[in-house]
A and B are shown apart, each in its own frame.
Chain A
Amino acid sequence: MALLEVENLQTHFRTPDGVNRAVDGLSFSVEAGETVAIVGESGCGKSVTSMSILRLIPEPPGKIAGSIRFNGRDLLKLSDREMRAVRGNEISMIFQEPMTSLNPVLTVGRQIGETLRLHQGMSASQAEARAVEMLKLVGIPEPQRRVKEYPHQLSGGMRQRVMIAIALACNPKLLIADEPTTALDVTIQAQILDLMRDLKRTVGAAIVIITHDLGVVAEVAERVIVMYAGRKVEEAAVDKLFGAPRHPYTQGLLGSMPKLGSSLTGEETRLQEIPGLVPSLKKKIEGCVFASRCPHTTDLCRKVAPALEEKAPGHIAACHYAIKEAVAA
């Protein structure tokens, strides 16, 4: 049994001009200790997915349906109190904006200690001592001093380290990282990714990393899920996906990624772009969700939504025309 099994997840929002079907029928699973990446453009529903797993979607206007089994328990069936015991304890989360994700009026120590006091019943002084250890663990110098400081006294990279310390304080089994490096400088990004990889080894948590940055995916993930318009369109091990993408959308994503060492001039290295825009999720989409932007669209695509099919061992894609067996590309 997998650690996390998401089945037919639907997260919809009520808006003044229609129901926004932000996530619509998503299924995936995460094994214990595994690192899975969810990629896609902004607005594809990847962040909503991560928020749905922890039930951080405000209801109303949102609504979550389907099932999210974590360690065999369906999180969607838990009471609010039971759910709070899961958050920050068994599943924790790191957010994109380290500048704004920490509470400006509470000390760093208090914010790390809060999870420990909530879930492990520590006293204030025990929690602070442990907070100092956590700061040391995530590589913040002078933890004794930093623990008494406020977030505005720390740099962006340090704040993200603090976020990681908060997330890992209770040794969670699953860590969801929503664009953890997007807001950081490139050099800091690498440090944070390294830190996450190191800590994953020591803590042994499974990681779901949500990103639009395929470079990050290649660096940390074992398996990749590609999302488009609230649905999964392709899933494969990271080398298979990068080596032989099946879905035209994935192909487009990879084609639009600049490659290291390529020169900026000349025809061959010109970046591909995916024409058109993500369709509105407030209307029901007939046929394939990618049909409006796909270079290979046919009448069939516009009429019939393709099911997810195993195109090669462990390689799933939702495209009528994706070929089934691996071909040397």
Chain B
Amino acid sequence: MSAVIHESDLNSEAHHHGPPTGFKRWLYSTNHKDIGTMYLIFALVMLFLGGAMAMLIRAELYMPGLQIVNPDLYNNLVTDHALIMVFGLVMPAAAGMANWMIPMMIGAPDMALPRMNNMSFWLLPAAAILLVSSLLVQFIPGTGTPVNTGWTLYPPLSVQVGLGMDLLIFSVHLLGISSIMASINIVTTILNMRAPGMTMMKMPLFVWAWFFTGLLLIIIMPVLAGGVTMLLFDRHFGTSFFDAAGGGDPVLFQHLFWFFGHPEVYVLLLPSIGVLGMVIPTFSRKPLFGYKPLVYFMGFLFALGLIVWAHHQYTIGMSLGATTYFMIGTILISIPVGLMIFNFIFTMWRGSMTFETPMLFAIAIILMFSFAGVTGVMLAVVPADLQYHDTYFVVAHFHYALIPGAVFGLYAGVFYWLPKWTGHMYDEKLGKIFFWWTTLSFNLTFFPQHFSGLAGMPRRIIDYNIQYIEFNQISSIGAFLFGLSHLLFLYIIIKTVKGGEKAPAKPWDGAQIGTPGLEWTLPSPPPFHSFTTPPEVK
């Protein structure tokens, strides 16, 4: 694939299309790069907010007994930590990368619907205000119990708690609108805005990953909206959707929630798999091994992900047929995921590998995410899951899936694309220190939780039996180190934005081969408006 770009094409519109100045540039933006930047900054802020909550949780669990917070506040922190990390960190960061990269990768002038793009972003701060208010409102007397339900918001508890729950419900509504709009925009951009010659099967893997992510979100977010709307009606308008006395069933909420919640896991994972599909070929200096199968595996994962939700609910008492179906479906998921992992390993096989920070993250992801896959298969098996359900084993499993699988993937993306975004190379030495620090402290935090879980420590409870004290103390120390490592992350980003070695159009000696996308044909940083005239892809 090659693309011919002339400097004059890039600047032909510059006379009336330079970046606007002042607050309007950001508040009124219709530029995919600026909106992408705002998404990424928002995600970074949320990373520290959600991280601070995690630090409080781990500080409380350093010792058995009650030390810092009361049980209701503790459970509220658990609830908001999850919601902030899922909706505030991972999804916005992935959407920010989509905004920045997809138009440049496929040779589009911008996103398909630029004004709606801005609205999808600005809904997030509004939703974040509601989410934080739902936490703070408990300190005003007379507002009822805090949202102590966990992020799953299961009734009947969620019907009984106070005002905070209503704020949270509407926060979820705004987040849903935001995700649906962003997804409509991304899917439309991918289908409609590709440069001539950029066929679907020439698109970089990251674009494919976001295509399936977008489709998933368009399907699942409305169902969550329907579920929380029923919750709102049960709370205030006398309906009985989740009350068996009135003919309803609280278990229905679990089905609706997990119809959203399970595919949501793939929403978080797929963009990071897309990043791996960019990073691994670059630093192996080989085209991606089995590009087409990788696309098909993602499609398979998309379809399968939508029909296995009830494996989160084995303990509710489903029929034997249903339980067996969900178990087999869930175990089947390990096939496309395993094949993807093999494709990435074969991409590295006999490659001319170097180990820059993004590549280190990519390799760590393959190891640790596979580990999460193994505990995932354990949890998929019904008789085993009945033992593990609601223990720290589950906590350890999904943190191994989501931190390496989603968050480290985004870190790899940040280090991989920072030179493109800012025009400066990041500090490789600090990047490597950050990698080792964060990876080791992550494992120190969550590895012991497998053992405390297997020994029976339940999740979402503020206190624990003294038999679990050692595991929890190791976990807490790991968590503090893990949290601290992110200050270095912040420092590296600020340092790279402010200056540093000039990045060429194709950093790392032009190692991007295979299907790397058109972003490397642009200078670093790219002009404010790229590809106003579509490039020709041969």
Please determine whether chains A and B interact with each other in the same assembly: no
B contacts, CB < 8 Å to A: none
